[in-house]
Amino acid sequence: MNIAIAGASGRMGRMLIEAVLNDPDAALAGALDRAGSPQLGEDAGAFLGRHTGVTLTDDVERVMADADCLIDFTRPEGTMAHIEAALRHGTKLVIGTTGMTEAQQDVVRAASEKIGIMFAANMSVGVNVTLKLLEFAARYFSTGYDIEIIEAHHRHKVDAPSGTALAMGEAIAGALGRDLKDCAVYGRHGVTGERDPSTIGFSAIRGGDIVGDHTVLFAGTGERIEITHKSASRVSYAQGALRAARFLAAHGAGLYDMQDVLGLR
Protein backbone atom coordinates (compact mmCIF):
# COMPACT_ATOMS: atom_id res chain seq x y z
CA MET A 1 0.00 0.00 0.00
CA ASN A 2 1.34 3.44 -0.95
CA ILE A 3 1.15 5.50 2.25
CA ALA A 4 1.86 9.21 2.72
CA ILE A 5 2.52 10.88 6.06
CA ALA A 6 1.33 14.36 7.07
CA GLY A 7 3.30 16.40 9.60
CA ALA A 8 6.38 14.50 8.47
CA SER A 9 8.97 16.51 10.43
CA GLY A 10 7.12 16.26 13.76
CA ARG A 11 7.62 13.68 16.51
CA MET A 12 4.66 11.58 15.45
CA GLY A 13 5.34 12.09 11.77
CA ARG A 14 8.85 10.70 12.09
CA MET A 15 7.61 7.73 14.08
CA LEU A 16 5.08 7.00 11.30
CA ILE A 17 7.71 7.31 8.57
CA GLU A 18 9.95 4.85 10.39
CA ALA A 19 7.04 2.42 10.82
CA VAL A 20 6.16 2.57 7.10
CA LEU A 21 9.79 2.10 6.05
CA ASN A 22 10.06 -0.97 8.26
CA ASP A 23 6.80 -2.54 7.04
CA PRO A 24 7.30 -4.95 4.11
CA ASP A 25 3.70 -4.45 2.99
CA ALA A 26 3.88 -0.64 2.81
CA ALA A 27 5.71 1.89 0.65
CA LEU A 28 6.33 5.52 1.58
CA ALA A 29 4.58 7.50 -1.16
CA GLY A 30 4.92 11.01 0.24
CA ALA A 31 5.89 13.15 3.21
CA LEU A 32 3.88 16.31 3.76
CA ASP A 33 5.04 19.19 5.91
CA ARG A 34 3.79 22.70 6.56
CA ALA A 35 4.66 25.55 4.20
CA GLY A 36 7.80 27.31 5.38
CA SER A 37 9.16 24.34 7.30
CA PRO A 38 12.98 24.37 7.31
CA GLN A 39 12.91 20.62 6.59
CA LEU A 40 11.24 21.01 3.17
CA GLY A 41 13.35 19.36 0.49
CA GLU A 42 15.09 16.98 2.88
CA ASP A 43 14.89 13.24 2.35
CA ALA A 44 12.09 11.79 4.50
CA GLY A 45 14.49 9.22 5.96
CA ALA A 46 17.30 11.66 6.75
CA PHE A 47 16.61 11.59 10.49
CA LEU A 48 17.24 7.82 10.36
CA GLY A 49 20.32 8.15 8.19
CA ARG A 50 18.42 6.47 5.34
CA HIS A 51 17.90 7.53 1.73
CA THR A 52 14.28 6.97 0.62
CA GLY A 53 14.03 9.11 -2.50
CA VAL A 54 10.97 10.77 -0.94
CA THR A 55 11.49 14.42 0.02
CA LEU A 56 9.46 16.51 2.45
CA THR A 57 7.09 18.76 0.53
CA ASP A 58 4.15 21.09 1.05
CA ASP A 59 2.63 20.09 -2.31
CA VAL A 60 -0.58 18.44 -1.07
CA GLU A 61 -1.91 17.71 -4.55
CA ARG A 62 1.20 15.83 -5.64
CA VAL A 63 1.32 13.73 -2.50
CA MET A 64 -2.37 12.85 -2.69
CA ALA A 65 -2.04 11.85 -6.35
CA ASP A 66 0.68 9.32 -5.46
CA ALA A 67 -0.85 7.88 -2.27
CA ASP A 68 -3.47 5.24 -1.62
CA CYS A 69 -3.77 6.48 1.96
CA LEU A 70 -2.64 9.50 3.98
CA ILE A 71 -1.96 9.15 7.71
CA ASP A 72 -2.64 12.47 9.41
CA PHE A 73 -1.70 13.27 13.03
CA THR A 74 -1.51 17.04 12.58
CA ARG A 75 -3.79 19.88 13.70
CA PRO A 76 -7.44 20.49 12.82
CA GLU A 77 -6.81 23.24 10.25
CA GLY A 78 -4.26 21.09 8.43
CA THR A 79 -6.53 18.05 8.48
CA MET A 80 -9.38 20.09 6.94
CA ALA A 81 -7.14 21.02 4.00
CA HIS A 82 -6.00 17.41 3.62
CA ILE A 83 -9.61 16.20 3.51
CA GLU A 84 -10.40 18.57 0.63
CA ALA A 85 -7.43 17.25 -1.36
CA ALA A 86 -8.22 13.63 -0.49
CA LEU A 87 -11.72 14.05 -1.89
CA ARG A 88 -10.30 15.38 -5.15
CA HIS A 89 -7.96 12.39 -5.53
CA GLY A 90 -9.97 9.60 -3.88
CA THR A 91 -7.26 9.08 -1.28
CA LYS A 92 -8.21 7.24 1.90
CA LEU A 93 -7.44 8.83 5.27
CA VAL A 94 -6.28 7.63 8.65
CA ILE A 95 -6.89 10.59 10.98
CA GLY A 96 -5.47 10.81 14.50
CA THR A 97 -5.84 14.59 14.83
CA THR A 98 -7.37 15.76 18.11
CA GLY A 99 -8.90 19.06 19.25
CA MET A 100 -11.45 19.28 16.42
CA THR A 101 -14.59 21.34 16.80
CA GLU A 102 -17.99 19.76 16.22
CA ALA A 103 -18.16 21.53 12.85
CA GLN A 104 -14.82 20.06 11.82
CA GLN A 105 -15.95 16.61 12.87
CA ASP A 106 -19.00 17.15 10.66
CA VAL A 107 -16.61 17.74 7.74
CA VAL A 108 -14.95 14.39 8.48
CA ARG A 109 -18.32 12.63 8.59
CA ALA A 110 -19.45 14.22 5.31
CA ALA A 111 -16.19 13.27 3.54
CA SER A 112 -16.55 9.65 4.70
CA GLU A 113 -19.60 9.31 2.46
CA LYS A 114 -17.21 9.45 -0.52
CA ILE A 115 -13.90 8.01 0.76
CA GLY A 116 -12.80 5.58 3.45
CA ILE A 117 -11.77 7.36 6.65
CA MET A 118 -10.53 5.82 9.88
CA PHE A 119 -10.85 8.50 12.58
CA ALA A 120 -9.77 7.82 16.16
CA ALA A 121 -8.42 9.90 19.03
CA ASN A 122 -5.98 7.13 19.91
CA MET A 123 -4.82 4.24 17.73
CA SER A 124 -3.10 2.20 20.42
CA VAL A 125 -4.48 -1.33 20.68
CA GLY A 126 -4.14 -1.08 24.46
CA VAL A 127 -6.17 2.12 24.67
CA ASN A 128 -8.95 0.71 22.53
CA VAL A 129 -9.21 -2.45 24.60
CA THR A 130 -9.26 -0.18 27.67
CA LEU A 131 -12.27 1.64 26.21
CA LYS A 132 -14.16 -1.66 26.14
CA LEU A 133 -13.12 -2.35 29.75
CA LEU A 134 -14.44 1.06 30.75
CA GLU A 135 -17.82 0.39 29.12
CA PHE A 136 -18.07 -2.85 31.09
CA ALA A 137 -16.98 -1.24 34.37
CA ALA A 138 -19.28 1.77 34.00
CA ARG A 139 -22.37 -0.43 33.81
CA TYR A 140 -21.53 -1.98 37.19
CA PHE A 141 -20.42 1.28 38.83
CA SER A 142 -23.41 3.28 37.59
CA THR A 143 -24.63 4.16 41.09
CA GLY A 144 -22.69 4.93 44.24
CA TYR A 145 -19.43 5.71 42.41
CA ASP A 146 -18.04 9.06 41.29
CA ILE A 147 -16.20 9.01 37.97
CA GLU A 148 -13.10 11.09 37.31
CA ILE A 149 -10.73 11.01 34.33
CA ILE A 150 -7.16 12.21 34.84
CA GLU A 151 -4.78 12.59 31.92
CA ALA A 152 -1.16 13.74 31.61
CA HIS A 153 0.79 14.75 28.49
CA HIS A 154 3.98 16.53 27.44
CA ARG A 155 4.37 20.29 27.65
CA HIS A 156 3.91 20.75 23.88
CA LYS A 157 0.35 19.38 23.66
CA VAL A 158 -2.00 22.19 22.65
CA ASP A 159 -5.46 20.78 23.43
CA ALA A 160 -7.08 19.65 26.68
CA PRO A 161 -8.59 17.35 27.71
CA SER A 162 -6.83 14.94 25.39
CA GLY A 163 -8.79 13.24 22.64
CA THR A 164 -8.21 9.92 24.40
CA ALA A 165 -9.62 11.27 27.68
CA LEU A 166 -12.70 12.49 25.82
CA ALA A 167 -13.06 9.10 24.10
CA MET A 168 -12.97 7.47 27.52
CA GLY A 169 -15.64 9.88 28.72
CA GLU A 170 -17.79 9.11 25.68
CA ALA A 171 -17.43 5.36 26.25
CA ILE A 172 -18.45 5.69 29.89
CA ALA A 173 -21.30 8.12 29.22
CA GLY A 174 -22.64 5.88 26.45
CA ALA A 175 -22.60 2.84 28.73
CA LEU A 176 -24.55 4.86 31.32
CA GLY A 177 -27.06 6.20 28.82
CA ARG A 178 -25.85 9.77 29.24
CA ASP A 179 -24.65 12.48 26.85
CA LEU A 180 -21.11 13.58 27.73
CA LYS A 181 -21.95 17.15 26.68
CA ASP A 182 -24.47 17.31 29.52
CA CYS A 183 -22.49 15.65 32.30
CA ALA A 184 -18.81 16.56 31.76
CA VAL A 185 -17.03 18.85 34.23
CA TYR A 186 -13.70 20.22 32.98
CA GLY A 187 -11.55 21.22 35.95
CA ARG A 188 -12.63 22.86 39.20
CA HIS A 189 -11.75 26.13 40.90
CA GLY A 190 -13.10 28.07 43.85
CA VAL A 191 -16.25 27.17 45.78
CA THR A 192 -17.82 24.55 43.54
CA GLY A 193 -20.33 23.05 45.96
CA GLU A 194 -20.78 19.34 46.47
CA ARG A 195 -20.04 17.02 43.61
CA ASP A 196 -23.02 16.13 41.39
CA PRO A 197 -22.99 12.31 41.30
CA SER A 198 -24.19 12.26 37.69
CA THR A 199 -21.13 14.12 36.38
CA ILE A 200 -17.91 12.84 34.81
CA GLY A 201 -14.91 14.94 35.83
CA PHE A 202 -11.81 15.69 33.77
CA SER A 203 -8.39 16.85 34.94
CA ALA A 204 -5.44 17.59 32.64
CA ILE A 205 -1.74 17.67 33.52
CA ARG A 206 0.89 19.09 31.16
CA GLY A 207 4.62 18.74 31.71
CA GLY A 208 7.94 17.39 30.56
CA ASP A 209 7.98 14.70 27.90
CA ILE A 210 5.05 12.57 29.11
CA VAL A 211 3.82 10.64 26.06
CA GLY A 212 0.34 10.00 27.47
CA ASP A 213 -1.07 8.69 30.75
CA HIS A 214 -4.80 8.17 31.36
CA THR A 215 -6.53 7.01 34.53
CA VAL A 216 -10.25 6.59 35.11
CA LEU A 217 -11.17 6.62 38.78
CA PHE A 218 -14.40 5.04 40.04
CA ALA A 219 -14.58 6.31 43.64
CA GLY A 220 -17.14 4.66 45.91
CA THR A 221 -17.68 4.54 49.65
CA GLY A 222 -14.83 2.60 51.24
CA GLU A 223 -13.18 1.67 47.94
CA ARG A 224 -11.97 2.99 44.64
CA ILE A 225 -11.19 1.30 41.35
CA GLU A 226 -8.64 2.73 38.92
CA ILE A 227 -8.24 1.70 35.29
CA THR A 228 -5.01 3.11 33.88
CA HIS A 229 -3.23 3.13 30.52
CA LYS A 230 0.28 4.56 30.19
CA SER A 231 2.15 5.13 26.93
CA ALA A 232 5.92 4.93 27.13
CA SER A 233 6.41 5.46 23.39
CA ARG A 234 4.52 6.63 20.30
CA VAL A 235 5.36 3.34 18.61
CA SER A 236 1.99 1.89 19.61
CA TYR A 237 0.20 4.79 17.87
CA ALA A 238 2.23 4.29 14.69
CA GLN A 239 1.61 0.54 14.60
CA GLY A 240 -2.10 1.11 15.17
CA ALA A 241 -2.19 3.64 12.33
CA LEU A 242 -0.59 1.12 9.95
CA ARG A 243 -3.11 -1.48 11.05
CA ALA A 244 -5.85 1.04 10.26
CA ALA A 245 -4.40 1.70 6.81
CA ARG A 246 -4.45 -2.03 6.05
CA PHE A 247 -8.07 -2.15 7.20
CA LEU A 248 -9.02 0.72 4.88
CA ALA A 249 -7.34 -1.04 1.94
CA ALA A 250 -10.02 -3.72 2.21
CA HIS A 251 -12.96 -1.39 2.80
CA GLY A 252 -14.80 1.25 0.79
CA ALA A 253 -16.24 4.62 1.70
CA GLY A 254 -17.35 5.01 5.30
CA LEU A 255 -16.34 6.34 8.69
CA TYR A 256 -14.51 3.79 10.83
CA ASP A 257 -12.67 3.83 14.14
CA MET A 258 -10.24 1.52 15.91
CA GLN A 259 -13.08 -0.48 17.39
CA ASP A 260 -13.92 -1.48 13.78
CA VAL A 261 -10.26 -2.11 12.92
CA LEU A 262 -9.79 -4.39 15.93
CA GLY A 263 -13.17 -6.13 15.66
CA LEU A 264 -14.29 -4.78 19.05
CA ARG A 265 -17.50 -3.14 17.85
Pairing outcome for strands 2-5 and 27-32 = parallel
Cis, peptide link before residue 76, omega less than 30° from 0 = no
Cα(96)–Cα(79) distance, integer angstroms: 9
Told to judge if 51 belongs to the known catalytic residues of this protein, a careful annotator would answer no
Q: Are 110 and 248 in contact (CB under 8 A)?
A: no
Which of 157, 189, 230, 251 is catalytic? The answer is 157
5 neighbors 67 (Cβ within 8 angstroms): no
The CA radius of gyration of the chain, in Å to the nearest whole number, is: 19
Quick check: helix, strand or coil at residue 254?
strand
Left, alpha or beta for 263 (phi > 0: left; psi -120 to 50: alpha)?
Answer: left
Burial of 74 (0-12, 13-18, 19+ CB in 10 A): buried
Rounded CA-CA distance 248/58 in Å is 25
Whether the CB-CB separation of 201 and 159 falls below 8 Å is answered with: no
- In terms of residues, how long is the chain? 265
Beta-sheet pairing, 146-153 with 200-206: parallel
Annotated catalytic residue within 92, 153, 214, 229? 153
Query: By the 8 A CB rule, do 55 and 66 touch?
Result: no
- Distance (Å, rounded) from C-alpha 253 to C-alpha 115? 4
Would residue 157 show up in a list of annotated catalytic residues for this protein? yes
Residues with catalytic function: 153, 157
